[in-house]
Amino acid sequence: MGIRRLAAGLAVFWLLVAASPDLALRDGGAALVTQVIDGDTLELDDGRRVRLVGIQAAEVAHSGDPAEPWAAEATFALEMVTLGKRVRLSYGGLEIDRYGRVLAHLHTEDGVWVQAEMLRQGMVRVYSFADNRTLVPEMLAIEAEARAGRRGLWALAEYSVLDQQDTWRHLNRFAIVEGVVLATDEMGGRVYLNFGPDWRTDFTVSIAPGDVRIFRDAGVEPLAYAGQRIRVRGWLRNFNGPMIDATHPEQIESAGR
């Protein structure tokens, strides 16, 4: 990637940040990257361990569990982008997670937005939370290009977008599911997006009352998803059939008709 392209990308990034209060980032200082732990985690020379916010890489081997496909490739890619370089940290939401890791966007001194570069290469997927939503739409757009080009992990069947009817075989993992919302319903303030006629067995998206307010405050009416083809990402669990809990609107994308 050329210096001019990197500088232009950084300029566009900061224009986006300045243009919208929703994209406001707080400066987290700068430090040298001394170690890369995996494809989304690294350590700095000031002792901070950073979890790159907004993305998820395949898990490396730990606690007796084997490494997931593409874990080694993602770790190596993050080393190539950051190891031995000074990076500037920016906060867009919650700054520290429950493990004591810093949650930050990173930029190298030569202008590389690290999250964007990892997504562009197809090394990671977008993985956001309600308390850290800054720049998620921009990251989703970059991920979509990598997925369309089948770059990196997107060439593997393990990371393909799931059809709503295939969710039963992929429980208890992070997943991206695509399908048509057959109907929506609101009960006790909780909204359900039903993808099949039987809510006891078919794939469902659940939005808790407090999270429904986050959607509506963002100008998104979750009941209006009825009849739409959408793509939803999150932890796929079994509760009256396969279910994903959506806590913020960036988890759901339009996938066309």
Mark whether 101 is an active-site residue.
yes
Check 51, 147, 231, 233 and give the catalytic one: 51
- Catalytic residue (one of 59, 143, 250, 253): 59
Q: Which of 68, 101, 143, 147 is catalytic?
A: 101
Residue 226 CA to its chain's centroid (Å): 24
Closest-CA residue to 176 (of 255, 121, 120): 255
| Residue 182 to residue 57: CA distance in whole angstroms | 32
| Per-residue b or e along 220-239, where b marks 16 or more CB atoms closer than 10 Å to that residue's CB | eebbebeebebbbbbebeee
Residues ≥6 apart with Cβ < 8 Å to 116:
9, 13, 138, 139, 142
- For 23, 73, 105, 115, 124, the CA distances from 18, given in Å and listed in that order, are 7, 34, 16, 19, 26
How far apart CA 55 and CA 81 sit, in angstroms, is: 15
Give the number of residues written for the chain: 257
Q: Which residues are designated catalytic?
A: 51, 59, 101
